[in-house]
Amino acid sequence: MSASGGPLFSIVTPVYEPPLDALRAMVRSVRSQSFEDWELVVVDDRSPSEAVRDVLREAAREDPRVRLVERQTNGRIVAASNDGVEAARGEFVVLVDHDDELAVGALARVAREIEAHPDVDYVYSDEDKIDAQGQHYDEFRKPDWSPERLRGQMYTGHLSVLRTSLVREVGAFRPGYDGSQDHDLVLRVTERARLVRHIPEVLYHWRVVPGSAAGDANAKPYAWDAGRRAVADQMRRLGIAGTAEFGPWPGTYRVARVADPNVTVSVVIPTRGGVGHVWGESRCFVVEAVRSLLEHTRHPHLEIVVVYDEPTPAHVLDQLRVVAGDRLVLVPFGGPFNFSAKCNVGVLASSGDVVILMNDDVEVRSDAVVEGLIAPLSEPDVGMTGARLVFADGRLQHGGHVYANGHLAHAFTGALPDEPGPFAALKVNRECSGLTAAFVALRRETYDAVGGLAERLPVNFNDVDLSMKIASAGLRMLWLADVELYHFESQTRVPEVRPEEYLFVTRRWVIPERDRYLPTEVPRF
């Protein structure tokens, strides 16, 4: 019994003409739960078949916890769902579709989570799918709470458990958002939620039937548009300047932010003026990196701080003066190679409100690259942003960092250019555990607060350490799918991983068994 005097859970299920076997299986999966403090509120939305109501009436006769609401007219899923929320007596609303199933022990597991975290307002779990033969497949191991990814796609999905009072406070399901009504509701609830918890266990089985979104993301195009509008609405509510657009993959969305043109930006590039071959041609890496950057941005307040080793040829510095003009700040650096120290020296010599760390062995591929990278930093809980980096042949080099089981790795390295990644992870902006410093942006105040890059890590893992420090400060890190550069990795130095650097970072930080944001990813080196 909940504090409100009703059951802990009100399972709300709108019903409209499902396969009868699937409907019975849904009811059976609820009644089979070991945790008994629940009610099942089924709302028949005037199904054409009387047989549907017969199944529901029989279930209500057999178990008084099954409560049937029969609508006199068909109002579609939002109206039917709201009838269920209005009738709910539980402290939490559990959203279950009429042809899906709860895993055995699902409610007991959620109840334990609520008991451990009494101030939780939203709980979601992992899920899988069931085919026509009853086989389970397509398991979705979800990230922990990831608000940026929720704007990019409705990733929380099922099982979703929301505090009833908060659902009512935000107005429950909104008319006009049919097909993405859950996404819209979760966006609004999580804006006000005190705590969001992810249970990394499969507690929900999504049945694939003909015409369902589970089997075909293109089955309900109106739902995709409703989701886009829901994301745009949240951006307006939160004051995020920009637009919500259809993403490059079905069911995904692109959050196109607008950067504040008044923000001053310093791009810090360590170099020794190296030369190499790319696409069959010789180039001076730092010169072409700066040239491509300036060709792909119109940001008005930009300085380029190049920290150069003393052996850097004078003609390279002359070319930089021609390319960058009065935006260029040249900073000499003496001593042995130390990427961290060079970046720190460059930041000290810079003046921008926002600092971008940029390798010299990159070439910008996407337009408005500075604007895209810095725009999310206007949100105070965003600590660092990073880019999609690809090799010269277009294969992915960096999709965010993965930290798990003692491994520190780039996510999805080697993925093909059009590969969506698991559950479209490579098509949406999202939180990640860390970012490579080959192209990242952070506010100067954040850089200073965390102490910049650790100079005891001159070659490797300095960006891992930086990411860990930013996460420890309670800030989010965003990998941006549409900010893209080529990264000609290790063409300006000999690649090496120093054991002492790995030992330093793994002794300084606890590496989790499971990555918070990419739990399905197998680290690659």
pLDDT, tens only, 111-136:
999 999 999 999 999 999 999 888 99
pLDDT digits (tens, 9 = 90+) for 129-165: 999 888 999 999 999 999 999 999 999 999 999 999 9
CB-CB contact of 304 with 330 (8 Å)? no
pLDDT digits (tens, 9 = 90+) for 466-524: 999 999 999 999 999 999 999 997 644 445 778 899 999 999 999 999 999 998 654 43
CB-CB contact of 206 with 127 (8 Å)? yes
Residues of CATH 3.90.550.10 domain(s) within the chain?
A: 9-216, 265-508
Reduce the secondary structure of 311-328 to three states and give it as a string: CCCHHHHHHHHHHHHHHE
pLDDT digits (tens, 9 = 90+) for 173-189: 999 999 999 999 999 99
- CATH topology assigned to domain 9-216: Spore Coat Polysaccharide Biosynthesis Protein SpsA; Chain A (3.90.550)
Q: What length does the chain have? A: 525
Report whether pLDDT(210) > 90: no
Strand partners, 441: 356, 385
CB-CB contact of 123 with 199 (8 Å)? yes
- Tell me the C-alpha distance between 523 and 68, whole Å: 49
Rounded to 10 degrees, the C-alpha dihedral 211/217/220/221 comes to -150
pLDDT of residue 338: 96
Report whether pLDDT(211) > 70: no
Phi and psi (nearest 5°) for 256?
-95, 90
Domain covering 265-508 in this structure, CATH number: 3.90.550.10
Report whether pLDDT(413) > 60: yes
Mean pLDDT of the chain: 94
pLDDT digits (tens, 9 = 90+) for 56-104: 999 999 999 999 999 999 999 999 999 999 999 999 999 999 999 999 9
Strand partners, 305: 268, 329
**Spatial CB neighbours of 52, under 8 Å, sequence gap ≥ 6:** 15, 17, 18, 20, 23, 44
Confidence of residue 419 (pLDDT cuts 50, 70, 90): very high
Phi and psi (nearest 5°) for 190?
-70, -20
- Tell me the C-alpha distance between 457 and 450, whole Å: 15
CB-CB contact of 189 with 170 (8 Å)? yes
Task: Give the residue carrying structure tokens 């260029």.
Answer: 328
Rounded to the nearest angstrom, the gap between the alpha carbon of residue 112 and the centroid of all alpha carbons in its chain is: 26
Angle in degrees, CA 226, 227, 228, rounded to 5? 90
Rounded to 10 degrees, the C-alpha dihedral 450/456/461/466 comes to 0
Q: What is the mean pLDDT of residues 439-466?
A: 97
- Tell me the C-alpha distance between 245 and 343, whole Å: 36
pLDDT digits (tens, 9 = 90+) for 7-35: 899 999 999 999 999 999 999 999 999 99
